[in-house]
Every structure is written in structure tokens, then in C-alpha cells.
Amino acid sequence: MSGPLLKVESLTKHYPLGAGLLKKTIPVVRAVEDVSFSVEAGETLCIVGESGCGKSTVARLLMRLTDPTAGRVLIDGADVAGLRKHELRAWRRRMQMVFQDPYSSLNPRLTAGQIITEPVENFERLSRKQRNALAADLLQKVGMSPEMMNRLPSELSGGQRQRLGIARALSLNPSLIIADEAVSALDVSVQAQILNLLLDLQQRMGIAFIFISHDLGVVEHIGHHVAVMYLGRIVELAPCEALFARPVHPYTEALIAAAPVPDPTRVRQTAPVEGEVPSPVNPPSGCAFHPRCPLAIERCQRELPPLVPMADGRVVACHVRAPVSEASKQPIVAGISQPVALRQWNLHNQLFVGIHG
């Protein structure tokens, strides 16, 4: 099958606040606004941003744990909203999730073996022998001894519990795993082990990941592409190396500046972003980042900046750093002529994840 494994088009989620019986307009939390991206098989897209930026809501929308207000999610070109019941079940097998807190996401009364095989047994009956063989195989895949299959989650360390969560996610042989802050509750040394495990599984099994994190050090280690979200919108989406080498959006720049620097001799070029994230119930007009942006101009308060494709394959929403007039003069990604790339952008409102291989 050609084309991206996952394509997200203009995904939007608003949560109404209260019933509003006597009010003409009901206030809404604008959790996700017009988010589009695509993910190729075997790639990792990281979604980053401060707490409350909408990244976890995107994960919930992709998993159909909540319905979108608008927009589409396509897997292998098929719109998930249009799938019939049996097709939806098959689709669910293909996308699995790993959660931040392995302890609260695992049933404390089930053994490791039961936790791992439970998703498969929702689809098919397994004999005891098949169950044990599957559990042993998956435990080995995540670097644990098969002898641990009879242990309860409380008898495992934090790192082992997260490995168990990954083994459970692998049990249905998914094409895509969404990892929501999957290593943020772990010690740094255990984090590194889990990240290396994910990279290894990706290489061996060709799994795509959507990796949601606030930790840019982790993202730099694992991502192929990075989407930076601010107050529900993507403000920059770029190949990982390019993003860290040259952040373009002022918010991306500030996030990278705020990340801990392992080298004490490295001097920060930019000040970390100051102030609080505004309320998603009443976001600022124009560019929502303008109250915190050191580069803001008058236009930023009036007009929402569009996401503009840049010469190196990234897209950026900023009137100052990615003005439409300037970007339209630039050639786009290698191998794609500028008019074609812009036409694709305009017609499909699609981000260029995976196009520039």
C-alpha cells in the first residue's frame, strides 16, 4: 500500500463547558484546533509542547477514546469514522497505546502473562500452551525473562512494568504505537533503556510510533519528525535534526532553550519562554503565542499565522519567521518542485511528514 500509514486532517476537539441552557453561546475548551500530519510506516513522529497544549488529546482522538469535533483520521487511506464494526475492531488491533504510568494502567490482580495476552484473548481463544508461549515470546522481545510471567505488577520494578506495558501493546502486532509520556515517570537510566528498546523494536518490527513528550532530550534521541504544539495548534513540524539544529518558530526556540543542557560549557542563545500558557477557553486573538513572544508585531494580535512550508521540508506558523510572501519564493523539499509542493499543501492541507525521505 502506498501513501502514509496514518494521515490526520484538520483534527479539532472542543469540549463544551456546562449545558448553557440560558446562554446563547456555550464556552468551549479548544483543546485541539485544525491539526494535520501524516506518519509513514516505521517512523517516529514526536509531539511536544507544554502541559495543556493538546498533545494528549490528539492521542485520545487517534485512539478513538473521544470523538473529534471536526477532522478526519485515515489509516492506510481509510477514514476511521466510516469503518463498520468489524473493520473498526481490525483497525483497533493496528494501533496500540503505552501510557505514562505503567502501574495504574496495568491490572494489579493479573499476572504479567495474563496482562500481556489479555488483548489477544479479546479477539481469539488461546489454549494455555499458546498463552504461555505468547507471553514468553513477548517478554523476551522486551528484554524480560519468561519466568516473570507469573509475577504481579507490584512485584516488578518501574522499568519492568513499562516493559510489560510495551509487551502488552506488541501482543496484537500493531503497525503503530502511541506512547504518551511513556518514559517520563522513570529514572533517567531506565528511560534510556526503554528508549533503546523502542528503537530496537522499531528496527526489528517496522513499527511506527507517535511519541508524546514534554522532554526535548528524549525527543531528540528518538524522533524522525517533531510536531511542536501550542494551545491546541501545531506551530512547527520539522525533521528532527533540522528542528534541533535550527528551530524557526520562536516557541520552538524557547522550548529548546529551556531544555536541560548536558554540556555545561554550551551557552544558551535564546532565553526560555516566560509566563503561563493562556486559557484554551479564551485563547488570545491572532497568534495565540503573541502575549509571550519576544518577536511579536502588531499583525500577530490580529491574524492567525498559517502553517507555511519552508525550504528544508518543515512547516512553520509565524508572521515574522515564516511570512507567506517569503516562503512562497523558496523551493520546497528536494525532489518536489515548489509549485507542486505548494499545490499539495493547499489542496490537502497536509504536512510533509515522510515525503522527503
Positions that interact with ligand SF4 (CB under 6 A): 249-250, 287, 289-290, 293, 295-296, 300, 305, 318-321
CB-nearer residue toward ligand SF4: 187 or 298: 298
Write down the least CB distance from residue 327 to ligand SF4, Å. Answer: 13
CB-nearer residue toward ligand SF4: 153 or 305: 305
CA distance 331 to 313: 10
CA distance 157 to 120: 25
- In eight-state DSSP terms, residue 207 is -
CB-nearer residue toward ligand SF4: 66 or 285: 285
CB-nearer residue toward ligand SF4: 168 or 249: 249
Write down the least CB distance from residue 233 to ligand SF4, Å. Answer: 11
Whether the CB-CB separation of 289 and 230 falls below 8 Å is answered with yes
CA-nearest of 156, 207, 138, 218 to 183 is: 218
Q: Could you tell me where the beta strands, DSSP code E, fall in 2-94?
A: 6-16, 28-39, 44-48, 70-75, 78-79
CB atoms within 10 A of CB 306: 15
At 14, phi and psi to the nearest 5?
-115, 135
Write down the least CB distance from residue 49 to ligand SF4, Å. Answer: 14
CA distance 82 to 74: 10
Write down the least CB distance from residue 239 to ligand SF4, Å. Answer: 20
CB-nearer residue toward ligand SF4: 209 or 230: 230
* Residue at grid coordinates 528524549: 218
Write down the least CB distance from residue 304 to ligand SF4, Å. Answer: 9
